[in-house]
Chain A
Amino acid sequence: MKTTLTVNGEAHEVTHDPRRSLLDTLRDDLRLTGTKKGCDHGQCGACTVLLNGERVNSCLCLTAMHDGDEVTTIEGIGSPERLSALQKAFVEKDGYQCGFCTPGQIMSATAMLREISEGAPSYVSDDLEVPKLTDTEMAERMSGNLCRCSAYPLIREAIAMASEVSQ
């Protein structure tokens, strides 16, 4: 079957098996391999992308469900020569080790910073009106993204740093 997607601003028509996940479409059909497959079951977050602006596990999306949708992957966030503030902060704070979960962490954090700026509370928020980027907030909101190297405190330092830069 055929599905049309806009990925990082570029329109693609892909022909695929109905069983194809959005993750496999991105990686194998469009060769955007920055998005990683860590579990294929929505349990690790390595495949996080933005779907119409919201973070999702691309392994839990069938490509067939997304005709006409817009997807942003890590390749749409920055390149080695032009890193985003968040990407730079991950390098400076060593917010990774093996790097395999890193694109997912950065996609998730990119969305999280926007969610907080738009005032979306989480259940750990003290103040339901104006959520702040506390470490507790970040720890809760980033818990869908596993890092077995366990760079967690440094990932959150990097996010906090990038947030300060952007403000």
Chain B
Amino acid sequence: MKDTFTMDCPQPRLLDETHQGVIGTGMDRPDGPQKVSGTAPYTADNPTEGVAHGALVRATVTRGRVAGIDRASIANLPGVIDVITDPRMTRNPAQGMAGEAPVQPGDAVHYHGQPIALVVAETFEAARDAAQRLKVTYTTENAAVTPENGEHEVGEPDAAGDFQRAFDSAEVQLDREYTTPSQVSAAMEPHAAIAEWKGNEVTLRAAQQMVRFNKAELADTLGIDESQVRILSPFVGGGFGSKLGLGPEAAAACIASQKLGRPVRVVMPRQTVFDCVLRRSETKQRVRLGATKDGRLTAISHDDQVSNLDGEGFAEPTSQASQFLYGADGLSFTQTVARIAATPAGSVRAPGEAVGMLAFESAVDELAQELGMDPLELRLKNIPATHPLDGRPYSVRRLADCLTGGAERFGWKDRAVKREGDWLVGMGMASAARSNMLVKSAARVRLTGDRAVVETDMTDIGTGTYAILAQITAEMLGLPPAQVEVRLGDSDLPGASGSGGSFGANSAGSATFLAAKDLRGQIAERLGCAVDDLTLQDGRARGANREVALSELVEAELTAEATIEAGETAETHFSSGFGAHFAEVAVNEWTGEVRVRRMLGVMAMGRILNEKTARSQAIGGMVWGIGGALTEEMVNDSRDGHVVTRDLANYHVAAHADVPRDMQVVFLEERDDWANPIQTKGIGELGISGAGAAVLNAIAHATGVRIYDFPATPDKVIAALEAKG
């Protein structure tokens, strides 16, 4: 293994000097033809000879213990093989990057819907039926299921200056409370696992986002060595955080397969995905802003209350972006976590920003209104010189360019409330921000002649990994991308960051870049030139007055493996993607219905590796913004905490009809030399961060009323309009 490259200083822009000309282009995804023809193999698509079907049995009480499982109650059902209970079974998915087993509750029940056993049968139908018929008895205990009733853990504030003094003495004050409900990832592919043992080694095909971590989680769960575990996850039908950690279906499939000596498949029904995959916490947020009359922010506070189940370390980082978007004399951010007996909370696309910015950017907008100031101007006026809490310089930040450029493109200065029949039409905007990360990642590139292979356990959850790793390698080695094969999602390959936190392209992309860079050195050596004099293009190497086809120069395979991790630049500089969202909405004054007519996101997110897949990610995020603002709401029963909205007819994700054609995305040219050697920033989450606030601010512009309890469903809009009179 090569030494690990640590990101300790800004890096030169090699990808701007190479000659193949494929980096950044909107190349079609190489995996596209498989996806559109139904031949891309997602987990449950794999044919497995002799497979048995498992169905999770789930608790019907909120807290207590499983007192008895009456196996005889299903023994006579045709096709039933066994009921598996095991102390190694898990309560819920691991949190992202845990790298160790999730809670293994034994016979304890911690929330309604928790997996407590697995019924295995010869057919899916028999397993589904038997899992529901199985008679289970419980002893029960009382437990709080609402954040109001749960035990509150109040955190230490993140603060700078004296917020209270600054707020108390502010010329203009705004103090607002907002609420957001729980949300879910609802990836289209339900969680699935197929496990098969050979001797004391298990192969798990599973829908997972972070194979390197999942391998460690599975080994720890089963009490075996990582060398005995292989995980395959080459195609994942969406993740959005829900497949970060090893899920209970995967643990159960492995345990059952080991006991029965045959392969076992467990696919969660959609309702189970709602019940026992990590949700985004509901939030209660209080935003306080103080400003001078001419619009200089003097005080910023964003306190929040979120919830989680006991034993889960994750807390939705609600105020994350509020801590570095704008400056003030005093800033303070305090989080409270309420402990409740409900489906545990974890990462859902852009944890923190997705719901935190709904509130914070609504408050900033309302402050502008109180000041009689253009909300665009207020934001521009308060961009801080350095990080407001710790004084670090920003690596590269084009927030002002995004705001002004977006305003110009969207026609912001001409905004006026229009009436079109029953419809009130208005415009809103918000800043976008999502902090940028680099996570330890390794990749191997192999070159034989003019064909290269990239190998890493990185995943492609729809993000475009297959495309961008091919492009990076092709660019660095001077090959047409079609001559680069990318192999992903196999834990036997070098371990990558996995897909999460928008750091996948940064991390796995940089590792691939470094491995390819190593190969450039090896090629230069063969050619007899200095690596700085090497030109690679269209399968030919030039340097030292020679030009040779790679097919001749590299007859035997050349291999390079590289590992990267974050270093000193993460301490010295603050890196974040920035942007600006604009939305035009029409609000029906009689029904309260809100229709988004067009949106624009202008984003500066470092180097764009693939213009096409980047745009798709950004649009996807903006549509999630629409969902968060207008429709998405998970409801738990206030008595026993069970999930009420447990299917796609009750939890409304945006559909075609909710999304206008006019969804524009503009990427500003940017390089983040402090972030990583390919100068990129994360993309998938910046699109959502602030997008929903732009929609909500447009509603306020159109109607003159504000909603504080999100989503802004029609009944709330009508109630607010009626209250205004």
Residues of A at the B interface (CB closer than 8 Å) are: 17, 19-20, 24, 27-28, 31-41, 43-44, 46, 73-75, 77-81, 83, 87-88, 90-92, 94, 96-103, 106, 135, 138-140, 142-143, 145-157
Contact = CB atoms under 8 A, between A and B. Distances in A.
Given A87-B37, A153-B663, A98 B190 contact: no
Contacts of A24: 124-125
A31 to B, nearest CB: 6
Nearest to A19: B125
Nearest to A150: B623
B644 interface: no
A119 to B, nearest CB: 21
B33 A91 contact: yes
A79 B37 contact: yes
Interface string B1-41: 00000000000000000000000001011011111111111
Given A100-B237, A154-B619, A37 B267 contact: yes
Closest 3 CB pairs of A and B: A34-B38, A100-B237, A98-B462
Interface stretch (B194-202, B448-456, B654-662): B654-662
A38 B190 contact: yes
Interface of B: 26, 28-29, 31-42, 44-45, 47, 123-126, 129, 185-190, 235-240, 267, 269-270, 461-464, 612-613, 615-617, 619-624, 647-649, 653-657, 659-663
16 contacts: A20-B125, A40-B269, A43-B648, A78-B37, A90-B36, A96-B35, A97-B620, A98-B188, A99-B34, A102-B38, A103-B38, A146-B648, A148-B188, A152-B656, A154-B619, A156-B656
A38 B45 contact: no
Contacts of A75: 37-39
A61 to B, nearest CB: 15
Contacts of B461: 98
A57 to B, nearest CB: 12
Contact of A39 (B41, B239, B612, B647): B647
Chain B interface mostly helix, strand, loop or mixed? loop
Nearest to B78: A17
Contacts of A150: 619-624, 654, 659
Contact of A35 (B34, B38, B269): B38
A152 B584 CA distance: 18
A41 B463 CA distance: 27
Contacts of B620: 97, 149-151
Contacts of B238: 97-98, 100, 148-149
A74 B124 contact: no
B445 to A, nearest CB: 25
A74 B653 contact: no
Contacts of B189: 36, 38, 98, 100
Contacts of A92: 28
Contact of B656 (A33, A90, A102, A143): A143
A102 B35 contact: yes
Nearest to A90: B36
Given A40-B270, A91-B28, A153-B661, A73 B648 contact: no
A21 to B, nearest CB: 9
Contacts of B45: 27, 33
B123 A98 contact: no
A149 B32 contact: no
A54 to B, nearest CB: 19
A149 B621 CA distance: 8
A87 to B, nearest CB: 4
B653 A146 contact: yes
Contacts of B26: 94
A79 B36 CA distance: 9
Contacts of A46: 188
B132 to A, nearest CB: 13
A20 B34 CA distance: 27
Nearest to A138: B656
A152 B654 contact: yes
Contact of B616 (A40, A81, A94, A143): A94
